[in-house]
Chain A
């Protein structure tokens, strides 16, 4: 692993130097199981979409490299987690929801019930009409009113 290098250049891009010493500019870290196992299996992809490096877990990497990747992933990933549903405009779709997320209050438009996707028994992913994804980690943990709203769509 000594020969592998990862650094951020002046343009803010990640530069990865592989085992043969070749440098790749603008590499992107990708989670293989973005939802079910975000911490297992990452890949570094070249800008052309080819896999340069497979990483089983971030913890196995040298600290600097892991931190850089972590930063990059955080910037790329945006999946607000819904903490509460304050109001829904109607129980028939399309419906505008006012929600509190871990990134602040917002509103989203749900196009159809099929945009609510179940993940395991209690987790849900809700895609709004722009394709932005919202996560509900545990719907039983939501407050009573939010659950009542949610039940009408499930």
Chain B
């Protein structure tokens, strides 16, 4: 029985005065086999239909509660009362949105029965397709937009037109030049005809050579050659110019798009792979356009023109000459299929090789420290060998291809010779015509040989284009609002309302509620994996929440333009990243227009001024890719100065002091105290001592907030925080060799 049948069956059981409040499909049965089922909530009862068509029902009454829990993508919905579990259903996460609505409706109904009042229905705009609440200011539902990603079509190369359009005029000029250049290259073989028939053959038959005719024809040959040279140069130059620009646009657009994608995307991609896509793939497309496609177009034009000329001279001989053409075309098609998968595989394997490099070179200290150089070499060799194996397979087919085309060429020539001699013998054609045919087809067939190359390069370029469009087609999961709202001034109050977040099928956060006053400092505490960093990432809008919403000064952050919103946020991370450049540039990263005085002031406040002055070029000293010349504490102070300079209203510190020793921490602490002043601060710290200044501590455990309060209150509770604190002080005592404090 299908979902719809079950739904109809349940709905048919409702009495006229009963209204249907919510419904959901359950796509798993009790034993976790895929089977349709349906849950329907009416104003009086909860009805459940299973795959067999069996219907059970529970009347809505006070004390009932629906609970959900999920594990590995399977959600269990349980109906509970005071005595225990009454029923349960399983479903996959796809149905979760419906389920939550059902749960909300059920809870509201029960509450209504208990208190006798209908709760206020929250005014929400729902997406028509997935029934998910929509965010004000957005026209497209974020959940649906995510699901609508379609695989790119195979005609990816045509999509490059988007990048070629700005250069239409030059492309047209290039095409006309190509046409003209090709036409001129076809003149010389044509002139062999009169040269044979009107000059050489008459001479052999005893007539004198006509000087004027010779001058005329040879002059014609020279002019044709010169014109072909000049036009060929012009067309190649213009088209190379255009293709280089297309390639550059493609690269920049891709990089620009990449910068706009959310952290979620980068989390799932390897650096080497992305680098290869933007760097070498776009270059490959560029070479394809400027070289191979141009050659191919020239060849096609040449074949068409030659065919026309040949037919105009002698249709029968032309027919014989062109006979091998469809045969070769078929072969090209056949090999194309064989090679396509091969080349895609080559690309993937090549990205693997680069990825190995990108993984190990930044981590070289770890590799050396654990003496794993041999293993890394082995890993590289393995990737490289895979590359070799894949290439070998492709090359086997590929290498067979060219000799076969050559063979066909020779056979074709043989046929033309044979048929031509027969025609000459029957006085159908002159010797000159045969000579012209042979001259034409010599060019013609050698072009076929090079044309066959287009098979592989088109495939390579197409797979390159596909990989680039993969990036371009990826819609940011942190979409810009269509009707953005703007915040003139930010006070800094943050309100987190029933926030849930799922990463893949794993629920990281659920039902997080927290109100933060402007200027308040919140310390986030909890075991690793309790969801602290995720919560902070959601506040920064590196990801978007799955459920609920985050509001800043009462405005949903999803309705603010992303970059405008992030300007109000200062971020200090555990591992401060310094870009290649001077210290001054690094401090001014968030505000490149900052004056030198402002930079110095920020550095002073971050306690970085003095150590910077001790460097050889002061603020103009270079720091490397990861600021290798500076210590952890120094780098951290530079990143604090960076945050201070943009003067954000909201400050986020993610384990800002965990990477440094206690002494450095004290040094940084002074800088941090300067930073925190007057800002809403959310600090994550593993070391609880760092959070002594926090107004409130928020203890998180397995994706939920379990305790809120200041240090003393939480200690008095003797629960989660107490245990965390005990564990740390005990550790410390053990390190210091003190006897454990007896409680």
A interface, CB within 8 angstroms of B: 30-37, 40-41, 43, 45, 49-51, 117
Q: How far is the CA of A37 from the CA of B611 in the complex (A)?
A: 19
Cross-chain contact B610 with A32 (CB below 8 angstroms)? no
Cα-based distance from A43 to B612 in the complex (angstroms): 11
Q: Give the residue among B582, B597, B611, B617 with the most A Cβ atoms within 10 A.
A: B617
The answer, among B596, B609, B610, B618, for a CB contact under 8 Å with A34, is B618
Interface check B616, CB cutoff 8 A: yes
Of A32, A34, A35, the contact of B600 (CB 8 Å cutoff): A32
Asked whether A41 and B617 contact (CB < 8 A) given A33-B584, A51-B609, A51-B610, the answer is no
Given the known inter-chain contacts A33-B584, A37-B596, please indicate yes or no for A51 contacting B613, CB distance below 8 A. Answer: yes
B584 pairs with A34, CB closer than 8 A: no
Q: Is the CB of B613 within 8 A of A45?
A: yes
Known contacts A41-B596, A41-B600; is-contact A32 B618 (Cβ 8 Å): yes
> In the docked arrangement, what's the CA distance between A29 and B730, Å?
49
* B620–A45 touching, CB < 8 Å: no
Q: Is the CB of B596 within 8 A of A30?
A: no
Ranked 7 nearest A-B pairs via Cβ: A34-B617, A35-B620, A32-B618, A30-B613, A34-B620, A33-B619, A43-B613
Asked whether any CB of chain A lies closer than 8 Å to the CB of B317, the reply is no
Chosen A-B contacts, 27 in total, with CB atoms closer than 8 Å, are A30-B614, A31-B617, A31-B618, A32-B612, A32-B613, A32-B619, A33-B596, A33-B618, A33-B619, A34-B616, A34-B617, A34-B619, A34-B620, A36-B620, A37-B596, A41-B596, A41-B597, A41-B619, A43-B613, A45-B613, A45-B614, A49-B610, A49-B611, A49-B614, A50-B610, A51-B609, A117-B622
Within 8 A of A (CB), among B579-638: 582, 584, 596-597, 600, 609-614, 616-620, 622
Interface residues on B, range: 10 to 19
Q: Given A33-B619, A35-B620, A117-B622, are A40 and B613 also a contact pair (CB < 8 Å)?
A: no
Residues in A whose Cβ lies below 8 Å from that of B609:
51
Q: Of all chain B residues, which has the CB nearest A31?
A: B618
In whole Å, how far is B226's beta carbon from the nearest beta carbon of chain A? Answer: 34
CB contacts under 8 Å to A, within B700-742, are none
Could you tell me the distance in whole angstroms from the C-beta of A39 to the nearest C-beta in chain B?
11
C-alpha spacing A40/B619, complex, angstroms: 12
- Distance, CA A32 to CA B600, complexed state (A): 9
Give B585's nearest chain A residue, CB to CB. A36
A35: chain B residues at CB < 8 Å are 617, 620
**How far is the CB of B611 from the nearest CB of chain A, in Å?**
8
Which residues of A sit under 8 angstroms from B584, Cβ to Cβ?
33, 36
Contacts known (A41-B600, A51-B609); A33 close to B614, Cβ less than 8 A = no
Looking at the assembled complex, report how far the CB atom of A36 sits from the nearest CB atom of chain B, in whole angstroms: 5
Q: For residue B622, which residues in chain A have a CB less than 8 angstroms away from its CB?
A: 117
Complex CA distance for A49 and B622, rounded to whole angstroms: 20
A-B contacts besides A35-B620, A36-B620, A51-B609, 20 pairs, CB < 8 Å? A30-B613, A30-B618, A32-B618, A33-B596, A33-B618, A34-B617, A34-B619, A34-B620, A35-B617, A36-B582, A36-B584, A37-B596, A41-B600, A45-B610, A49-B611, A49-B613, A49-B614, A50-B610, A51-B610, A51-B613
Q: How distant is the Cα of A135 from the Cα of B360 in the complex, in angstroms? A: 36
State the Cβ distance, A54 to closest chain B Cβ, in Å: 8
Query: Most chain-A CB neighbours within 10 Å: which of B584, B596, B611, B620?
Result: B620
Question: A40 vs B595: C-alpha distance in the bound complex, in angstroms?
Answer: 12
Q: Which residue of B lies closest to A51 (CB)?
A: B610
Q: Which residues on the B side are within 8 Å of A31 (C-beta)?
A: 617-618
CA gap between A34 and B611 in the complex, in Å: 15
Residues from chain B with Cβ under 8 Å of A36 in the complex: 582, 584, 620
Instruction: Name the B residues within 8 Å of A117 (CB-CB).
Output: 622
Distance between Cα atoms of A34 and B619 in the complex (Å): 7
Chain B positions 432-487 with a Cβ under 8 Å from a chain A Cβ? none
Residue of B nearest to A131 (CB): B616
Q: How far is the CB of A32 from chain B (nearest CB, A)?
A: 4
- Cα A45 to Cα B597 with chains together (Å): 18
Chain B: minimal CB distance from A93 (Å): 18
A120 and B616 CA atoms in complex are apart in Å by: 19
Q: When the two chains form the complex, which single residue of B582, B596, B610 contacts A40, counting CB atoms closer than 8 Å?
A: B596
Residues of B within 8 A of A34 (CB): 616-620
Instruction: Please measure, in the bound complex, the distance between the C-alpha atom of A36 and the C-alpha atom of B597, giving whole angstroms.
Output: 13
> Smallest CB-CB separation from A46: which chain B residue?
B610
**A33-B620 in contact given A40-B596, A41-B596, A41-B600 (Cβ < 8 Å):** yes
List residues of chain A with CB within 8 A of the CB of B611: 49
CA gap between A32 and B614 in the complex, in Å:
9
What chain A residues lie within 8 Å of B616 (beta carbons)? 34
How many whole Å from B680's CB to the nearest CB in chain A?
A: 32
Q: How far is the CB of B616 from chain A (nearest CB, A)?
A: 7
Which chain A residues border B612 with CB–CB below 8 Å? 32
**Closest chain A residue to B603, Cβ basis:** A32
